[in-house]
Amino acid sequence: MFNFSVLMPRPQQDSYYWLLPYRGIQKAQEELLSHKVRVNFFFFDRYNERSVLNTGRRLLRTNPDGVLAAPVLPEGFNRFMADLPPELPVVFFDSYLPGVKPLAFIGQDAFRSGLLASRLMCQTVHRGSGLVAVIKILPEDYHIVGRIEGFLQGSRDWSGLRTETLDLVGSWPAAKTAEYLEAFYRAHRDLAGIFVTNAMTHKVAEWWKGNSGKEKIILIGYDPIPRNVALLKVGAIDFLISQQSERQGYEGIYALFRKVVLGEEVRNKIMTQIDIITADNVDYYQS
User: What CATH number is given to the structural domain containing 229?
Assistant: 3.40.50.2300
Say if residues 107 and 269 touch (Cβ distance below 8 Å).
no
Q: Is the pLDDT of residue 87 over 80?
A: yes
Exposed / middle / buried, residue 139 (Cβ in 10 Å: 0-12, 13-18, 19+): middle
CB atoms within 10 A of CB 49: 17
Say if residues 106 and 252 touch (Cβ distance below 8 Å).
yes
Same domain, 73 and 146: no
170 backbone φψ class: left, alpha, beta (φ>0; ψ -120 to 50): alpha
| Number of domains into which the chain is organized | 2
Same domain, 209 and 259: no
pLDDT at 8: 98
In a domain, 217, yes or no: yes
Same domain, 23 and 141: no
- Residues 190 and 117: their CA atoms lie apart, in Å, by 20
Q: Quick one: pLDDT band at residue 287, thresholds 50, 70, 90?
A: low
HEC-encoded secondary structure of 92-110 = EECCCCCCCCCCEEEECCH
pLDDT at 140: 72
Same domain, 127 and 87: no
Edge to edge, the sheet with strand 2-9 lists: 37-44, 2-9, 66-69, 90-93, 104-107, 269-271
**What value, to the nearest 5°, has the Cα angle with vertex 117 and ends 177 and 47?**
40
The parent domain of residue 207 ranges over 110-242
Same domain, 74 and 129: no
pLDDT at 36: 96
In a domain, 195, yes or no: yes
Total count of residues recorded for the chain? 287
**What value, to the nearest 5°, has the Cα angle with vertex 223 and ends 222 and 228?**
90
In a domain, 281, yes or no: no
CB atoms within 10 A of CB 131: 20
Same domain, 120 and 230: yes
In a domain, 187, yes or no: yes
Same domain, 128 and 236: yes
Same domain, 235 and 254: no
The pLDDT > 70 percentage for the chain reads 99
Same domain, 123 and 182: yes
Q: Is the pLDDT of residue 127 over 80?
A: no
In a domain, 225, yes or no: yes
> Identity (one letter) of the amino acid at 216?
K
Contacts of 211 (CB under 8 A, 6+ apart): 182
pLDDT at 235: 94
Same domain, 121 and 104: no
Same domain, 221 and 127: yes
Q: What is the pLDDT of residues 241-278, one digit of tens each?
A: 999 999 999 999 999 999 999 999 999 999 999 999 99
> Identity (one letter) of the amino acid at 123?
Q
Q: Mean pLDDT across the chain, nearest whole number?
A: 93
In a domain, 131, yes or no: yes
In this structure, of 79-88, 128-137, 220-229, the range with the lowest mean pLDDT score is 128-137
The pLDDT > 90 percentage for the chain reads 80
Same domain, 214 and 253: no
pLDDT at 157: 84
- Residues 165 and 138: their CA atoms lie apart, in Å, by 12
In a domain, 286, yes or no: no
Q: Which CB contacts under 8 angstroms, 24+ apart, belong to 229-234? A: 229/282, 230/202, 231/201, 231/202, 231/205, 231/206, 232/277, 232/278, 232/279, 232/282, 233/279, 233/282, 234/209, 234/279
Q: What is the pLDDT of residues 183-242, one digit of tens each?
A: 999 999 999 999 999 999 999 999 988 775 677 899 999 999 999 999 999 999 999 999
E strands, the chain, where?
A: 2-9, 37-44, 66-69, 90-93, 104-107, 130-138, 161-169, 191-196, 218-222, 239-242, 269-271, 275-277
In a domain, 262, yes or no: yes
